Structure 1
Amino acid sequence: MNEQQQLNYNRIAEAIGYIRANFKEQPSLEQVAEQVHLSPFHFQRLFSEWAGTSPKKFLQYISVEHAKDLLKANKNSITDIAWETGLSGSSRLHDLFINIEGMTPAEYKQGGKNLAINYSFAESPFGNIIVASTLKGVCYMAFNEDESAALKDLANKFPNASFTRKLDLLQQNALFIFQHDWSKLHQIKLHLKGTDFQLKVWEALLKIPMGQLSTYGDIAQQINQPNASRAVGTAIGSNPVAFLIPCHRVIQSTGLFGGYMWGKTRKAAIIGWEGARISTDH
């Protein structure tokens, strides 16, 4: 991300933060533009390019009332809806569920010993990311503007693995998702390091359709652990693959968006971006 792109990202992130904090007042285009020191015309164009929708529509998508409506509509049928729509094609991410494979107990215990990992850096609509893969699939993806810090975090996940900076086909297929190229979804493979419980939670996240939201309690019900909402939250917080495993689609039962490993503003941005894509598709 060059200096101008970084500046634009920061401005849009600041605008999203302002909208989130003031959604009850339904701020006008002029009010939000003023917060980021841009003319309304320039801000409208820049925001639409970055988020894929207008500031007005984006405000609607990230409002708490919208989140509550989604939850209410799917209160008793999150799982049914996920299975019914998950393989319906261009507007769903459930296709990722086609290939999810946990590491062997030995690989997990040894911290990736003898595991060769390729990694690369890329730009996304939500900031710079690092993506890493084994021969079996994508094992790690995270938002991070600092490449050195990103690589350090990756190494901490797999302390005994060997690393090569290389963009391979597995990573390329995963990155197509940011370009809205849904035709590549069936080619995305995941190779996940986690406990049995974590893998069950991450699988459940993959079943949440794009444009829909779920709660920690809903996920606990889906994995047949209805009293494990807190443990579910911990597993979600350990998600090693940003965006592809959509932990951003899990919110609090009150309708509030709640926390996100890569920042609340980014979470709101992704939810809005996906909502805009669903609106466009339909």
Structure 2
Amino acid sequence: MNATLETNLFNSEDYQRIAKAIAFFRQNHLTHPDLITVAHHVNLSEYHFQRLFTKWVGISPKRFLQYLTLEYAKTKIAQSKNLLDLTLDVGLSSPGRLHDLFINLEAMSPGEFKAQGEGLEIRYGVHDTPFGQALIATTVRGICNLFFLSSVETDDFERMLYLEWKKANIVQDRSATQEICEQIFQPSTLKSQKPLPLLVKGTNFQVQVWKALLNLPLGSMTTYQTLASMIGCPTSARAVGNAVGQNPIAYLIPCHRVIRETGELGGYRWEIARKSLILGWEACLIEDNL
């Protein structure tokens, strides 16, 4: 899998095929479709599908699917029950923590929140990633947005950026976000790792939830109820779920690691297929580091 990360040849069309295949697997899991059936569903031969999938994640589709079962998810939930006692030092000692080691989150002040980005310059670019195209926006104080895009929604997400920062000076500048994209999705290619600062705009409660998400080790899964307990609001699971859904910086603030108590994935702002692929990808990273 590391070879995939180092190639810098992320291909959105490849991602779309893999996402379509995983969605087909999940929708038809009771009938256990074979590899040939799934390959034909994405208009590839069995050989080319197997090769494409292995290039993307480093393991076979069959093995990857083991990380997406309800049984696997329930096991990860059970392991996360001790998160109430989790300290940052314990989290940082987890194998394969990778990105989380280098994230610093800063929240805007209430005055800045109300100002809607006035006086702020935001530069953004759209990049290919292992999980499809992503719009990355940054300021001098840190990354302020990371949106995953579908193949037809780039303009919509650009409008979303303008709506979120109504009074900011927003400039399309892919060169300003290229290095950030590499640091997020190709960390093994960089000679040194710098901290990734994040700048978020939200209510005190939302920021509290987003900070709690940063304490979830890579490869872990937890529930909305456990996350609510982590921030000292055990009766606020629904409100926590809403805050998770409003996470403005996908992947780096790992809202994808929160699932339902039943082991089902629940919702995801950036499509359920993408959530399952990210969780499977992370499970592979953890296995590589064991």
TM-score, structure 2 as length reference: 0.88
Q: Which runs of 5+ in 2 are unaligned?
A: 1-9
Pairing partner for 2:131 from 126, 130, 153: 126
Measure, in 2, the Cα distance between the counterparts of 1:199 and 1:127: 27
Contact (CA 8 Å) 1:70, 1:212: kept in 2 or not? Answer: yes
| Local SS of the residue matching 1:130 | strand
Q: Which runs of 4+ in 1 moved over 4 A?
A: 87-90, 167-171, 182-186
Measure, in 1, the Cα distance between the counterparts of 2:124 and 2:97: 28
Contact (CA 8 Å) 1:23, 1:59: kept in 2 or not? Answer: no
Shift of 1:174: 5.0
For 1:127, give the aligned amino acid.
G
Q: Does residue 246 in structure 1 map to residue 249 in structure 2?
A: no
Identity of aligned residues (%): 39
Measure, in 2, the Cα distance between the counterparts of 1:29 and 1:212: 28
What residue number does 1:155 align with? 162
For 1:116, give the aligned amino acid.
E
CA 1:185–1:196 in structure 2 vs 1: closer, same or farther (change >3 Å)? farther
Instruction: Give CA-to-partner distance per residue, 1:125-158, whole Å, 9 cap, x none.
Output: 1111111111110000101144322211111111
What residue number does 1:53 align with? 59
Instruction: Give CA-to-partner distance per residue, 1:104-124, whole Å, 9 cap, x none.
Output: 111101211111111111110
Contact (CA 8 Å) 1:87, 1:95: kept in 2 or not? Answer: no
What residue number does 1:101 align with? 106
Pairing partner for 2:245 from 212, 231, 237: 237
What residue number does 2:196 align with? 188
Measure, in 1, the Cα distance between the counterparts of 2:85 and 2:112: 31
Between the two proteins, the alignment pairs up a number of residues equal to 278
TM-score, structure 1 as length reference: 0.90
What residue number does 1:37 align with? 43
Contact (CA 8 Å) 2:91, 2:216: kept in 1 or not? Answer: no
Pairing partner for 2:236 from 199, 204, 228: 228
Contact (CA 8 Å) 2:124, 2:177: kept in 1 or not? Answer: no
Shift of 1:176: 1.9
What residue number does 2:3 align with? none
CA 1:79–1:150 in structure 2 vs 1: closer, same or farther (change >3 Å)? farther
CA RMSD of superposed structures (Å): 2.3
| Local SS of the residue matching 2:64 | helix
